[in-house]
């Protein structure tokens, strides 16, 4: 095998393909990136750990076709460090020689015949706008659990009904719901899938810059798989197995108390006040007519307080939140104003966005946060 490719093109492709490689692979070959040099002048790169696969292809000057398997992370580091010149890659026995200008690296190959077969991309189910998908995923995955002992909650439930897609995620302390449109291959499609939040977030970040992202999935055939494709890059992932809890019912049917606050002003104030919030302590928000007062700290500890303008409908109310969860929800809302909907100081509070202080709230994104009980 022998080929030449531009340094930036190679570095980007290898880095993208190797990004999901496991740090502790079940077998040594799973730490590798498979590179196939096609006589048609195309390099096919692939990685796979039996759960997530990544494939990309780039143009190259292929002198001798062939296939090799090398350490993905090492090749990514080397390719990024090379000078800005064409890169020559040659297979020499059991070693791969990488030459770029006066730089020369030699990498050991792995037995490519031991590499597992890559999963086939399922049939395309529909197409998302890349930017819209990236934005929606970022808003929802913020609420997914990071606790691997609860694998169900580390996933995002994706519900599809025709042209409407709903994504939900929860870690038991907060719940995020996002609705968005897509272009389905079949107008009467109706299905649901539980996708790993980490995988979904990674895909959205890496493919979200593309104008369109094609999504495909297969269920009921013994292997439940979801796939994403854009610009010659393909990622597949096994779905999370299990029944996701019925979390929609957690959103309150009626909320007698509402408050509207400038979102950017609230984020800035919350960040300042949170500086004195010790670990596992809360930020308190006291809503009254015309203002909300934020404060943290008590007793002999450091304390902070700040008030900003707010519009209140209903009785005065005081709630306390985990500072990080509060800021996660506020940051996920991209509207100028945030609307809080309350039922009781100790019951979950719903966050939605508003374009103006007087307008209706945008319910395409809803963030539900459980408050922290505090002494009156």
Got the DSSP string for 51-63?
SEEEEEEEE-EEE
Domain that holds residue 51: 2-114
Looking at the structure, tell me whether residues 278 and 338 fall in a common domain. Answer: yes
Looking at the structure, tell me whether residues 144 and 237 fall in a common domain. Answer: yes
Give the pLDDT confidence score for residue 376 in this predicted structure. Answer: 54
Looking at the structure, tell me whether residues 232 and 139 fall in a common domain. Answer: yes
Q: What is the CA radius of gyration of the chain?
A: 25
Looking at the structure, tell me whether residues 301 and 259 fall in a common domain. Answer: yes
Is residue 332 a part of any domain in this protein?
Answer: yes
**Cα distances (angstroms) measured from residue 82 to each of 1, 12, 85, 91, 257:** 20, 12, 8, 18, 60
Give the pLDDT confidence score for residue 85 in this predicted structure. Answer: 96
Looking at the structure, tell me whether residues 7 and 90 fall in a common domain. Answer: yes
Looking at the structure, tell me whether residues 44 and 144 fall in a common domain. Answer: no
Looking at the structure, tell me whether residues 131 and 239 fall in a common domain. Answer: yes
Looking at the structure, tell me whether residues 197 and 265 fall in a common domain. Answer: no
Domain count, the chain: 3
Is residue 375 a part of any domain in this protein?
Answer: no
Looking at the structure, tell me whether residues 69 and 134 fall in a common domain. Answer: no
280 torsion bin: left (phi>0), alpha (psi -120 to 50), beta (else): left
Is residue 276 a part of any domain in this protein?
Answer: yes
Give the pLDDT confidence score for residue 197 in this predicted structure. Answer: 96
Residue closest to 14 by CA, chosen among 76, 100, 56 = 76
Domain boundary among 59, 81, 114: 114
Is residue 146 a part of any domain in this protein?
Answer: yes
Give the pLDDT confidence score for residue 55 in this predicted structure. Answer: 96
Give the pLDDT confidence score for residue 220 in this predicted structure. Answer: 60
Looking at the structure, tell me whether residues 146 and 232 fall in a common domain. Answer: yes
Is residue 376 a part of any domain in this protein?
Answer: no
CB–CB of 298/277 below 8 Å? no
Q: Are strands 42-48 and 32-38 parallel, antiparallel or unpaired?
A: antiparallel
Tell me the C-alpha distance between 35 and 57, whole Å: 9
**Cα distances (angstroms) measured from residue 120 to each of 226, 228, 279:** 10, 12, 46
Tell me the C-alpha distance between 55 and 187, whole Å: 29
Is residue 190 a part of any domain in this protein?
Answer: yes
Copy the structure tokens of residue 43: 């390099």
Give the pLDDT confidence score for residue 299 in this predicted structure. Answer: 75
**Cα distances (angstroms) measured from residue 3 to each of 11, 76, 86:** 15, 17, 10
Give the pLDDT confidence score for residue 222 in this predicted structure. Answer: 54
Looking at the structure, tell me whether residues 160 and 184 fall in a common domain. Answer: yes
CATH number of the domain that residue 97 is part of: 3.10.150.10
3-state helix, strand, coil in the chain (%, to 5): 20, 45, 35
The low-confidence residues of the chain, meaning pLDDT below 70, are 219-223, 375-376
Tell me the C-alpha distance between 174 and 366, whole Å: 10
Looking at the structure, tell me whether residues 228 and 262 fall in a common domain. Answer: no
Give the pLDDT confidence score for residue 359 in this predicted structure. Answer: 86
Domain boundary among 86, 114, 142: 114
Is residue 374 a part of any domain in this protein?
Answer: no
In the three-class reduction of DSSP (H, G, I as helix; E, B as strand; rest coil), residue 92 is classed as strand
Model confidence pLDDT, tens digit, residues 123-147: 899 999 999 999 999 999 999 999 9
Is residue 225 a part of any domain in this protein?
Answer: yes
Domain boundary among 188, 214, 248: 248
User: What is residue 98's DSSP assignment?
Assistant: E
């Amino acid at each position: 095998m022998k080929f030449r490719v531009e340094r930036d093109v190679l570095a980007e492709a290898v880095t993208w393909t190797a990004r999901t490689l496991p740090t502790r692979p079940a077998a040594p070959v799973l730490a590798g990136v498979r590179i196939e040099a096609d006589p048609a002048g195309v390099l096919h790169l692939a990685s796979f750990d039996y759960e997530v696969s990544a494939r990309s292809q780039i143009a190259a000057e292929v002198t001798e076709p062939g296939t090799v398997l090398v350490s993905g992370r090492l090749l990514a580091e080397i390719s990024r460090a090379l000078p800005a010149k064409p890169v020559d890659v040659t297979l020499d026995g059991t070693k791969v020689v990488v030459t770029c200008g006066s730089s020369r690296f030699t990498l050991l190959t792995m037995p490519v015949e031991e590499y597992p077969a890559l999963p086939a991309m399922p049939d395309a189910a529909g197409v998302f706008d890349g930017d819209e998908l990236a934005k929606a995923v970022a808003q929802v995955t913020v609420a997914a659990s990071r606790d691997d002992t609860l694998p169900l909650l580390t996933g995002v439930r994706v519900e599809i009904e025709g042209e409407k897609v709903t994504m939900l995620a929860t870690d038991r302390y907060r719940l995020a719901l996002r609705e968005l449109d897509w272009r389905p291959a079949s107008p009467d499609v109706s299905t649901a899938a539980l996708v790993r939040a980490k995988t979904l977030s990674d895909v959205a970040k890496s493919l979200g810059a593309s104008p369109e992202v094609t999504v495909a999935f297969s269920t009921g055939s013994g292997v439940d798989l979801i796939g994403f494709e854009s610009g010659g890059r393909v990622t597949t992932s096994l779905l999370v197995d299990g029944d996701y809890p019925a979390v929609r019912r957690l959103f309150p049917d009626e909320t007698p108390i509402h408050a509207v606050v400038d979102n950017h002003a609230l984020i800035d104030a919350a960040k300042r006040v949170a500086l004195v919030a010790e670990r596992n302590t809360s930020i308190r928000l006291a809503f009254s007519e015309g203002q909300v007062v934020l404060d943290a700290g008590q007793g002999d500890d450091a304390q902070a307080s700040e008030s900003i303008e707010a519009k209140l409908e209903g009785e005065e109310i005081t709630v306390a939140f985990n500072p990080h969860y509060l800021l996660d929800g506020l940051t996920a809302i991209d509207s100028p104003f945030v609307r809080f909907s309350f039922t009781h100081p100790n019951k979950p509070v719903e966050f939605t966005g508003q374009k103006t202080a007087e307008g209706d709230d945008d319910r395409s994104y809803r963030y539900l946060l459980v408050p922290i009980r505090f002494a009156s």
